Structure 1
Amino acid sequence: MVRVIEDMFGIAVNPMMQKTDRIRRFTLITERGMSVSIITLGATIQSIKVPDFNGKLEDVVLGYDDVAGYYRNSGGYFGATIGRVANKVACGRFKLCGKDINVSRNVKDRYHQHGGFIGFDAVIWDVVGVHKDGITLQHISPDGHEGYPGELTTNINFSLNETGCFGMRIEARTKATTAVNLTNHTYFNLAGHGAGKETLYQHMLMIKAQKIVDVDHELLPTGKLMRVRSTPYDFSSLVNLGKRLNQVATCPLSGFNNNFCVDCSPNRVQLVARVVHPCSGRYMEVHTNQPGLQFMTANDLPDEECGGVPNVGKGGANYVRHGAFSLQTQKYPDAVNHCDFPTIVLNPGQLYDHQVVYRFGSCPKRV
């Protein structure tokens, strides 16, 4: 039986109200000891503790011990819910119902990223339900916020069960035609959140995708899809991540930050990725009904080998470049400007329904 425990995580100023508010933390715990902690600041996943093949628990999610840590490192979006539109919107503009829509250009005054200056990651979400296996958080985004038309009401149900499945169901409704593409920006390391680059290179990864979205030097989509077969981006079978990172070491990114076009039927929750850490036996599966999966290897974290000062996280852990990975379920980036991409337009009367399940477990050391 899953328990739900609430405690106080801190206080912060809600940017939507300009009022001080409590940040609440809810921890979902199974009888086997696996736990997930969510805070109301940004509907953020603050911790996931998973046993290895010996039953030893480790927190496998990067994050911070207090509110100040999240504010200090807000640009990292660790564990946060991203919206109203995740990823990038080229030039901060697009057409909707024949009208020109201009959204905030929060990156170098050139393009829109992750919802703008005050995205869903920066607001304090309301608790609208506490259930036997989880919680429901809600945020109402006003009409015109960051340039997006239509008041948008978003609910996220977080749940955990005894089989190691941690699920998020994101639902949204709008009062006027708008664009919606939400995701969660959690970084993982199955060896432990502070285990670093060496252990990340031990991970094995599979992504069920034959194509990725082609991008330019600013990671803005060109509109083309690139086949991954016989390239370092081919993860169609379980392969060593370290080997693939070495293969892209001379590329401009020196790592992965790509949207994979996953092989799944529309509106069906299916397996799209699997990650295994052989040394601990921990594995994670990603199941979703979304057509895109943004795979990232923490390229923007400090590079110790080049003299960078590590980002200090929970328990004083050092977070460094290539010390974690992220698998973000979503639709394609800049979809509003590419008619061939799966649409992110939401009309009144329609339900935005985004489902993702992270299934954790452990297996013998041999993969």
Structure 2
Amino acid sequence: MNASADITGFGYLPDGREVTRIVLRGGGLQMALLTHGARVQDLRLDAVAHPLVIGADTLDPYLGEMSYYGAIVGRFANRIADAAFALDGKSYKTDANERDQQTLHGGTEGASSQLWELQSVSDTSATLTLDLADGHMGFPGNLLVTATYSLPGEGTLALDITAVTDKPTVCSFAQHSYFALEDGGSVADQTLWIDADRYLPVNDLMIPTLDAPATVTGSRFDFRTARPIGTAGLDHNFCLNGAEGDLRRVARLEAPNHLSLEVVTNQPGLQIYDSARQPHMTGLGGRQHGAFAGIALETQAWPDAVNRPAFPSAVLRPGEVYRHAVRYVFATPG
């Protein structure tokens, strides 16, 4: 471990364990990570005066209303209907942590609430690991997860996640930062492009209503030509074009100040949440945030894939390696 790295304490969990803060610098970016949730706590770009993510200056908000902010969520990101699924003929009941009906982001004690272990760090990268036990939150298999954040250059934040298991299980992680390209601006006024011909309609519980995706053509979900996000509300999975496993450009966000963010990933889905339902909260440096203050761009498996045979598989088996790559690329005008 690089002794010169910027590593400090950030507070203590209720059980007395210390949360560590790690600062990385490279490619015009400065990023602060927390071992709690393997989360991005702060992110800055040279020549931009404000943070690029919604975060908190202290640990307490991350133990409550901001539990998913900046974190890696899983072992299954997004939702599992009825908090149940079957795998290889065996039924599993998972933690029903949303509305007492379904599993959200791996359950109450999912990856976002865990204290990850810092394995290695340099000035520009950090690797963290997490062991999730067989039966944790109802999921089968001992799952070893490794996440490496790096700043490889040219305004790029890179995240690579791998996982291995000793039993067949389901596995899908997502990076859950809320990006804020303007200081106090609304994402409703920002322009979004998504390389997706299809999306998943959802019901009031945010569970997909169909066993096959719907076309975006003629709907408010058609972002194949860049346009303003608006205030109609987005909390939907877009079924990305291109071959799953190939690293490809899938989305671009641009604010009126012309600061932009591109998303590159190898995942089949992109959950867009425009924070329309976000309650008022205090963020970094005392900033006040409300609805539409930030946007989550979560690369992932499709929601409820464990119960939908027609969806891309989210099953991980012994001897296989789950691989998730995502790049967030920021650029200033000119």
Match of 1:290 in 2: 267
Distance 2:148 2:163 in 1: 12
- In structure 2, the residue corresponding to 1:357 is in which secondary structure? strand
Q: Quick one: which of 332, 342, 345 aligns to 2:302?
A: 332
Aligned to 2:7: 6
2:27 touches 2:151 (CA, 8 Å); kept in 1?
no
Identify the range of structure 1 (269-278 vs 310-319) with the bigger mean alpha-carbon deviation: 310-319
Q: How far does the alpha carbon of each residue in 1:148-187 deviate from its partner, in whole angstroms, 9 at most, with x for none?
A: 1110000000000231111000000001110101101110
**Residue of structure 2 aligned with 1:232, choices 180, 202, 220:** 220
Shift of 1:4: 4.4
What is the SS of the residue equivalent to 2:113? Answer: coil
Distance 1:31 1:346, change over 3 A: closer
Taking structure 2 as the reference length, what is the TM-score of the superposition?
A: 0.95
Alignment partner, residue 63 of structure 1: 55
Would the aligned equivalents of 1:264 and 1:289 in 2 still touch at CA under 8 Å?
A: no
Structure 2, unmatched stretches of 5+, are: none
C-alpha separation in 2, matches of 1:61 and 1:257: 18
Q: How many residues align?
A: 330
In structure 2, how many angstroms separate the alpha carbons of the residues matched to 1:109 and 1:219?
14
Aligned residue runs from structure 1 range 213-228, under 5 A: 213-222=200-209, 223-228=211-216
Q: 1:5: how far off?
A: 1.9
Residue type matched to 1:224 in 2?
Answer: A
What amino acid is the match of 2:188?
Y
Q: What letter corresponds to residue 209 of structure 1 in structure 2?
A: A
Residue of structure 2 in register with 1:105 after alignment: 96
1:306 is aligned to none
The reply to whether residue 88 of structure 1 matches residue 76 of structure 2 is no
SS in 1 for 2:212: strand
Question: Per-residue CA shift, 1:306-333, capped at 9, x if unaligned?
Answer: xxxx211222211111121111000100
For the residues of structure 2 that align with 1:322 and 1:56, how far apart are their CA atoms?
A: 20
Per-residue CA deviations over 1:55-108 (Å, capped at 9, x if unaligned) read: 233201001001112113245x11111011111111111111111111111122
The equivalent of 1:212 in structure 2 is 199
**DSSP-derived class of the 1:224 partner:** coil
Structure-2 separation of matches of 1:336 and 1:314? 37
Which residue in the other structure is 2:164 paired with? 173
Q: 1:209 to 1:20 in 2, by over 3 A?
A: same
User: Where in structure 2 are the equivalents of 1:11-160 lying within 5 Å?
Assistant: 11-13=12-14, 19-30=15-26, 32=28, 34-51=29-46, 55-75=47-67, 77-160=68-151
1:262-273 equivalent positions in 2, closer than 5 A: 262-273=240-251
**Alpha carbons 2:82, 2:103 under 8 Å: kept:** yes
Q: Deviations over 1:189-217 (max 9, x none)?
A: 1013xx143xx233111000011012112
For residues 56 and 148 of structure 1, do their structure 2 counterparts lie closer, same or farther at Cα, with a shift above 3 Å needed?
closer
* Match in the other structure for 1:182: 173
| Pair 1:320 & 2:298 matched | no
Q: State the alpha-carbon separation in 2 of the partners of residues 332 and 256 from structure 1.
A: 15
Query: 2:178 & 2:27 partners in 1: Cα distance?
Result: 25
Cα displacement string for residues 257-290 of structure 1 (whole angstroms, at most 9, x for unaligned residues): 00000112221110000111132x3111100000
CA contact (8 A) 2:24 2:123 kept: no
Q: Distance in 1 between matches of 2:158 and 2:204?
A: 34
Dislocated runs of 4+, deviation >4 Å: none
Give the structure-1-normalised TM-score.
0.87
Residues 4, 133 of structure 1: 8 Å contact kept: no
Say which SS state the counterpart of residue 134 (structure 2) adopts.
Answer: coil
Instruction: Provide the secondary structure at the position in 1 that maps to 2:270.
Output: strand
Structure 1: give runs of 5+ residues left out of the alignment: 14-18, 249-254, 303-309
Partner of 2:255: 277
Q: Percent identity?
A: 31
CA drift at 1:132: 4.7
CA offsets per residue over residues 133-152 of structure 1, 9 Å max, x none?
Answer: 20000000011001011100
Counterpart in 2 of 1:341? 311
1: distance between equivalents of 2:207 and 2:50? 36
Q: Distance in 1 between matches of 2:262 and 2:302?
A: 21
Secondary structure (helix, strand or coil) at the match of 1:161 reads: strand
Q: Which amino acid letter does the alignment assign opposite residue 39 of structure 1?
A: L
